[in-house]
Chains A and B, each alone.
Chain A
Amino acid sequence: MTEILKAFTFLLGFQFLGTAAVMGLGVPIPGPVAGLLFLIGWLGMNAPRPKLLKETAQGLIAHLSLLFVPAAVGIVQHLDRLALEGKILLTAVVVSTVLALIVGALTFVVMVRVTGALPKGEELRS
C-alpha cells in the first residue's frame, strides 16, 4: 500500500510541476499534459521511479472512462440548446467524426506503406 501511495504522490508531483510550468510560462496547454511530457522525459532518462509506478498507472488507465463521467453529465446544462439546434449539432458531430476516423486511419495506413513501417507482431489485429 505504501508503495502505491508513493507512486500516486509521484504522479501528482509531475502534475504539479506541469501546472506550475504552464502557469509560469503562460503556455496554453493544460498542466497535466505538460506533466505527462515531463514524466516522459524523466522516464526516458531512466531516472529513479517508485516501485509500483507501472501498476498504479495501469490501475488508473484501466478505468480511465470513469473519470469522464462527471464531465459527460455536464451535457444536461445544454438541453435547451440541443432542443433548438440538436439535430444540426448531432449531424455535424457524427458525420465529421466518422469522416475524421476514416481519414485518420487511411492516412496512417498509406504512410505506413510509404515509409515501410509495416505492423508487426501484436500491432496487427488477428
Chain B
Amino acid sequence: MNPINEVQDIWAYLRTTPLLWLMLTMLAYLVGFWCFEKMKRSPIVSPVAIAASFLGVILLITDTPYPVYFEGAQFVHFLLGPATVSLAIPLVANFPRVRRAAIPMLAALIASSATAIFAAIFIAQAMGASDEAIRSLIPKSVTTPIAMGISEQIGGLPSLTAGLVVLTGILGAIIVTPLMNHLGFRDWRARGFAVGVTSHGIGTARAFQVHEVAGVFAAVAMALNGLVTAFVVALFSQLL
C-alpha cells in the first residue's frame, strides 16, 4: 500500500471517531481561552465564539456533518447537566443576598424577558422575516432544551431556535460588560441578572468569569426565566 493512501485511510478512520472531535473541541476552547487571557480577560473576547467558529470552519472544510461531530462533543455537552445542578452551591451560599433582592429580581425578570420577546418579534416582522423564523425567534433567551420545546409548541423550527439561542447567548455575553460600563450600572446584581435573563447559560458562564455576585444573580435569572417561560407557554398551549 502506498503511504498516501495510508494517510487517507487513517484520516478516514479518525474523522468518524468520537476521539478526534472531542479532542478538537477541548483544543479549540483552550485556544479561545488563551486568546481571552492574552487580551487581559477582555470581556469582548468570547472563548465560546472563538472555539465555535474554529470548529465550524473545520467541519465545513472537512465536509463533516454535525451529528458526526456531536458523537465526540457529546461528552463535553453532557457535563452541562451536572454543571447546572452544581449552580445550587453558590446560590445557597449567597441565599440572603438573593432573598433581599427578590422584588427587584421579579420585576426585572418580567420586564426584561417581555422586552426580549416583543422587540425581536417587532423587528423581525418590520424587516419582513418569514413566519416560521419569527416563531423560532420567540424563545431565544431561554436555555436550549426549554427553548426547543417552546419553539415546537408554537410552530417554529426547534433546530433553528437552538442556533438562535446560542447566537443570543454569545452576543449577550460579549455585549453586556461594555454596555453596562457605558451606561454606568455598578450594581453587580443588576448586571448579572440582566445577562442571565437575556443570555441564559452562556451569559451566566460569562458572569461567573467576571464576578461571583454577578454569576449568582445570572444563575437565578436563567433558572427563573426558564421555569416561568416554560410554564406560561404550557399554560397557553393548554388553553388554546
Tell me the A residues contacting B by CB distance below 8 Å.
8, 11-12, 14-15, 18, 28-33, 35-37, 39-40, 43-44, 53-54, 56-58, 60-78, 81-82, 85, 87-105, 107-112, 114-115, 117, 119, 122-125
A96 and B87 within 8 A (CB)? no
Instruction: Provide the residues of chain A in CB contact with B197, threshold 8 Å.
Output: 100, 104
Are A61's CB and B83's CB within 8 A? yes
Whether A33 lies near B223 (C-beta < 8 A) is yes
* Cα distance, A70 to B187, chains bound together (Å): 32
Q: Are B119 and A95 in contact (CB under 8 A)?
A: yes
Contacts A11-B82, A76-B59 given: A105-B185 contact, CB under 8 Å? yes
Within B43-92, the residues touching A (CB, 8 Å) are: 46-49, 51-52, 55-56, 59-60, 66, 69-70, 73-74, 76-77, 79-92
Q: How far is the CB of B159 from chain A (nearest CB, A)?
A: 6
Interface SS, B side: helix
Report whether B48 and A68 are in contact in the complex, using a CB–CB cutoff of 8 Å.
yes
**Contact across chains for A115 and B189 when beta carbons are under 8 A apart:** no
A56, A63, A68, most chain B CB atoms within 10 A: A68
Chain A residues with CB below 8 A from B186, complex form: 119, 124-125
**CB nearest neighbor in B for A87:** B127
Instruction: Determine the main DSSP class of A at the interface with B.
Output: helix
The A-B contact count (CB < 8 A) is: 337
CB distance from B170 to the nearest CB of A (A): 7
- Out of B66, B89, B112, B221, which one reaches A103, CB within 8 Å? B112
**A111 CA / B193 CA spacing, docked (Å):** 13
Contact at A40–B92, with CB atoms within 8 Å?
yes
Residues on the A chain within 8 Å of B55, using CB: 69, 73
CA distance A108 to B120 in the complex (A): 21
Known contacts A108-B189, A115-B103; decide if A61 and B52 are in contact (CB<8 Å): no
What is the minimal beta-carbon distance from A5 to any residue of chain B, in angstroms?
12
A124 lies within 8 A of B84 (CB): no
Q: Inside 8 A of B82's CB, which chain A residues have their CB?
A: 8, 11-12, 15, 32, 60
Give the contact-size bracket for chain B: 35 or more
Q: Which of A72, A82, A96, A110 contacts B115, CB < 8 Å?
A: A96
Do B86 and A57 touch (CB < 8 A)? yes
Partner of A92, one of B51, B84, B123, B169: B123
With contacts A78-B163, A104-B194 known, is A88 near B127, CB below 8 A?
yes
Q: Which residues of A contact B25 (CB under 8 A)?
A: 69-70, 73
- Give the distance to chain B from A91, nearest Cβ to Cβ, in Å: 6
Q: A68 vs B227: C-alpha distance in the bound complex, in angstroms?
A: 20
Also in contact, A89 and B124, with CB within 8 A (given A68-B166, A74-B162, A109-B185)? yes
Question: B3 at interface (Cβ–Cβ under 8 A)?
Answer: no
Task: Tell me whether A93 and B164 are in contact (CB under 8 A).
Answer: yes
CB distance from A11 to the nearest CB of B (A): 4
Contact of B209 among A14, A65, A107 (CB under 8 A): A65
